[in-house]
Amino acid sequence: MKIVLLSGGSGRRLFPLSSDARPKQFLKILKDGRGGRQSMLQRVRGQIRAALPDAEVLIAANASQAGIIESQLRGEVDVVLEPERRDTFPAIALACAYLRDAMSASPGETVVAMPVDPYADIGFFQALSGVEEALACAKLVLMGIQPAAPESKHGYIIPGGRLRGGALKVESFVEKPDEATARGLIGSGALWNAGVFGFRLEYGLDLSGGASYEKLLEEYGSLEKISFDYKVAEREPDIAVIPYNGMWSDLGTWNALAAQMGGYVTGNGLLERATDTYIINELGAPIIALGTRSLVIAASPDGILVADLAQSPHLKEAVGTLELQRPMRKERGCGEYTVLDRIECANGAESLVRRLRLSAGRSMSFRAHERRDAVWTVASGVADFTLDGETRRISAGGAIKIVRGQNHSIAAVTDVHIIEVQTGELLDETDAEKFEKGF
Amino acid sequence: MKIVLLSGGSGRRLFPLSSDARPKQFLKILKDGRGGRQSMLQRVRGQIRAALPDAEVLIAANASQAGIIESQLRGEVDVVLEPERRDTFPAIALACAYLRDAMSASPGETVVAMPVDPYADIGFFQALSGVEEALACAKLVLMGIQPAAPESKHGYIIPGGRLRGGALKVESFVEKPDEATARGLIGSGALWNAGVFGFRLEYGLDLSGGASYEKLLEEYGSLEKISFDYKVAEREPDIAVIPYNGMWSDLGTWNALAAQMGGYVTGNGLLERATDTYIINELGAPIIALGTRSLVIAASPDGILVADLAQSPHLKEAVGTLELQRPMRKERGCGEYTVLDRIECANGAESLVRRLRLSAGRSMSFRAHERRDAVWTVASGVADFTLDGETRRISAGGAIKIVRGQNHSIAAVTDVHIIEVQTGELLDETDAEKFEKGF
């Protein structure tokens, strides 16, 4: 069995910890059972290893996520990189072609494509072993979760008669019904759609006419932006669903996540006369919650959230009304940068202060800025700086100036922290994008 | 009439906006009636000017507050500086000697010593004009506020018979009674003690045996740390109180302050499905309050507070349990510094990233650091840097390195922002102190 973990995800539902540049599946906020913290990606990888030791895992991710996946899973899974973010149908099509062309999977192989971040008991992953058998009587196999409540954020599967094993025939789908409708559906046996799709590899390959991995990769930017649900599942008459009755959540909202964090305070925080209040603080300065009730308080360089737990599912709408701004922090496998400060200058320009962290042995190249200078000061560690081909070794307390037009790169000799002060003309959007790609 | 405004104040009750380095009377968070914001100091100064145009104002402040008072009042009042923080008795004694020796006040002059930060209607200041008349029948005159509620945080004055004008004779004092006792006291006519003390200058001078300003200044560090209430008012049999029935608050707690801010959001904040929620954000990144009720949310580089409005009076205790840390920001009249980041280094040392802001025409000198280097990068503006006697002019995008043992100073040619990265051995407490005095 090949398991394709789809690593997409918008960053807005867990603001300010997640962002488009730092999707929730990579946040290390879940207890790992050994006193440390792990990400959703790491947890799911571990559960698959335990429940399905023979399954091979392929992660379908955006190209920008390569570094952090490498850093969190240390090369123990295959990764297929999408050159840009589209939707689940193109991602699954590309992954199928990759399975055949790069991983030599046979056409009869069972493929299970699923989100990278379900928060579930191990039983959920054990239930995936039933996909194989269910494929004997359906072309597509889904996982259906026994609903815990008539929540309107889910898609519902309406099952029909019993098939082989525990699987049921799928009659139809209802997308995000209102609560009253959901209640009625549940009464007649409907299940939440977990976003899991099981099929034979040949079925997945046929969906894109058997195109090669190379070809799909090349044409990726012109593939239709459409979900696998919509493009395939809703049009396929021959579908089975495996019901699963156990703990399952997508941890997509703060109230769901807070309950799984294993503690009320993460980071520098203090609860005083507070009840049912969660603090998650990624800033250095302290958070005090005084006399509060049923709140989640989360702080990162991107912002601060104070939300009533029950109302936290509405966060996405609230964040949507915020002015878009460049993310304050980006993580890559080899390091991260954090915006420390922005200074408005008299002429309307803006200076930017960033901290770059780079792990020993890793390097980064930057494109030349056309209209901005920068001074880099090494705050800790040692690194080799190359400017227009010339290399200098600089250690803590040393600094180097990069003038506009110079290509530059850093190779970290030890773990290194660098403070960068960028000055010059105002960053326009194109600059900002370049600047982020440069990282 | 001479009005002595006592500018003391601990910074903990309005955490994280106020700190010992940034007392609440200087926070510009009150509406100024012209669309801007003013501090408590500025508001009181304006009210005294309007209510008592002939009164001269002297501010009794700690030496470290000289710059910010100058910056907020632009030299329009006299300031007497206490070399260290003691209590109100030494502060008033020093101010009286200053009135005689430096401002040539006559012994018969009326002096009113009072806190710098009452939040009151103009009527409160108009009522001070009654002190003069009341001094004809008492040696010490207080202001008594008609209690709005049986609050236990106040001192209560128990009045007796009627004296000349509207004044009453003071029978006794009760300090911070419990609520039940306070209710009984109010029923029998007790008043809140507003901390205002009116007397003839000679009375104030006699309290320290007629010592000169020079002598008191010299001996200031050895004067008894005691309040004027305790040392004088509670022992003086001949006291009158002027009752005042109108709006008065010390704005010492967040619920009191929030109600006077003239708006729910100050700074970058967003209220979504929230009721009775106040946001005061001094950070650049946004605060979102979602579905919250009766909260104050305040953020500064020193920390974040989320407090139930009704419980906010307990803040001082909560802040008291926080680990003491160097303040993240200091304001002076000529500029401010803000700590942007601290980076722990492999050897246990710490690098410090600070932003210094200095106004055009102002300069700052720094003592040499013995065990630390620094790189300064100009992020905006132009400044002259002097290192061991040699001066260089540097503008935005330029940088300069200061090695341990070098004396250094900055003179701002225009308004300037400088990013400093300090590296080297761990700051111990003595270093930290020097470093702060250096500023």
Residue A287 to residue B308, Cβ atoms within 8 A: no
Same domain, yes or no, for A83 and A207? yes
Task: Note whether residue B37 is domain-resident.
Answer: yes
Tokens in use for A74? 């240390």
**DSSP 3-state assignment of B6?**
strand
Task: Note whether residue B379 is domain-resident.
Answer: yes
ipTM of the complex: 0.73
**DSSP 3-state assignment of B432?**
helix
**Residue where a domain stops, chosen among B276, B298, B320:** B320
Same domain, yes or no, for A166 and A185? yes
Residue A290 to residue B283, Cβ atoms within 8 A: no
Sign of the alpha-carbon dihedral angle for A167, A168, A169, A175: negative
Q: Which of A288, A325, A394 has the highest number of chain B CBs within 10 A, making it the mutation to test binding with B? A: A288
What's the pTM? 0.74
Task: Note whether residue A163 is domain-resident.
Answer: yes
Query: Per-residue pLDDT tens for A29-60?
Result: 888 888 788 999 999 999 999 999 999 999 99
Res A251: pLDDT: 83
Partner A, chain B 46-105, Cβ-Cβ below 8 Å: none
- To the nearest whole angstrom, how far is the Cα of A162 from the nearest Cα of chain B? 44
Same domain, yes or no, for A269 and A288? yes
Rounded to 5 degrees, what angle do the CA atoms B201, B9, A271 make?
160
Task: Note whether residue A329 is domain-resident.
Answer: no
Same domain, yes or no, for B312 and B349? no
Same domain, yes or no, for A72 and A164? yes
Res B324: pLDDT: 47
Task: Note whether residue A31 is domain-resident.
Answer: yes
Whole-number Cα distances in Å, B343 to A232, A410, B188, B351, B381: 51, 19, 60, 5, 27
In terms of Cβ atoms closer than 10 Å to its own Cβ (0-12, 13-18, 19+), residue A361 is exposed
Task: Note whether residue B255 is domain-resident.
Answer: no
Is some CB atom of chain A closer than 8 A to the CB atom of B311? yes
Same domain, yes or no, for B113 and B191? yes
Res B231: pLDDT: 93
Is some CB atom of chain A closer than 8 A to the CB atom of B337? no
Q: Using CB atoms, pick whichever of B16, B304, B341 lies closest to residue A355.
A: B341
Q: Using CB atoms, pick whichever of A286, A399, A423 lies closest to residue B401.
A: A399
CATH of the domain at B398: 2.60.120.10
Same domain, yes or no, for A271 and A394? no
Residue B377 to residue A373, Cβ atoms within 8 A: no
Distance CA B56, CA B4 (A): 9
Is some CB atom of chain A closer than 8 A to the CB atom of B345? yes
- Give the other-Cβ count within 10 Å of B357's Cβ: 20
Q: Using CB atoms, pick whichever of B295, B304, B380 lies closest to residue A304.
A: B304
Is some CB atom of chain B closer than 8 A to the CB atom of A287? yes
Res B347: pLDDT: 67
Same domain, yes or no, for A295 and A241? no
- To the nearest whole angstrom, how far is the Cα of A221 from the nearest Cα of chain B? 33
Same domain, yes or no, for A184 and A266? no
- To the nearest whole angstrom, how far is the Cα of B433 from the nearest Cα of chain A? 20
Is some CB atom of chain A closer than 8 A to the CB atom of B426? no
Res A439: pLDDT: 36
- CA-nearest residue of chain A to B376? A377
Residue B295 to residue A293, Cβ atoms within 8 A: no
Q: Which of A240, A248, A245, A6 is nearest to A132 (CA)?
A: A240
Question: Which structural domain, as residue segments, surrounds residue A313?
Answer: 260-320
Partner B, chain A 244-283, Cβ-Cβ below 8 Å: 270, 272-273, 281, 283
Residues of A whose CB is below 8 A from B373 = 397
Task: Note whether residue A51 is domain-resident.
Answer: yes
Task: Note whether residue A168 is domain-resident.
Answer: yes
Size of the A and B interface in Cβ pairs below 8 Å? 219
Q: Using CB atoms, pick whichever of A284, A304, A401 lies closest to residue B342.
A: A284
Same domain, yes or no, for A46 and A192? yes
- To the nearest whole angstrom, how far is the Cα of A63 from the nearest Cα of chain B? 28
Is some CB atom of chain B closer than 8 A to the CB atom of A326? no
| Domain count of the fold of chain B | 3
Same domain, yes or no, for B44 and B69? yes
Same domain, yes or no, for A21 and A107? yes
Distance CA B259, CA B279 (A): 12
Tens of pLDDT, residue by residue, chain B (439 residues): 999 999 976 667 888 888 777 788 988 888 888 888 899 999 999 999 999 999 999 999 988 888 888 888 888 899 999 988 889 999 999 999 999 999 999 999 999 999 998 999 999 999 999 999 999 999 999 999 999 999 888 999 999 999 978 899 999 999 999 999 999 999 999 999 999 999 999 999 999 999 999 999 999 999 999 999 999 999 999 999 999 999 998 888 898 888 888 789 988 899 999 999 999 998 878 999 999 999 999 998 889 999 999 999 888 888 876 654 555 556 655 677 777 888 877 666 778 888 888 888 888 877 777 778 889 999 999 999 998 889 999 998 899 998 888 888 899 999 899 999 988 765 543 343 333 333 3
Q: Name the stretches of chain A with pLDDT < 50.
A: 324, 428-439
CATH of the domain at B137: 3.90.550.10
Residue B396 to residue A285, Cβ atoms within 8 A: no
- To the nearest whole angstrom, how far is the Cα of A376 from the nearest Cα of chain B? 9
Asked if residue B280 lies in contact with residue B296, where contact means CB atoms within 8 angstroms, the answer is: yes
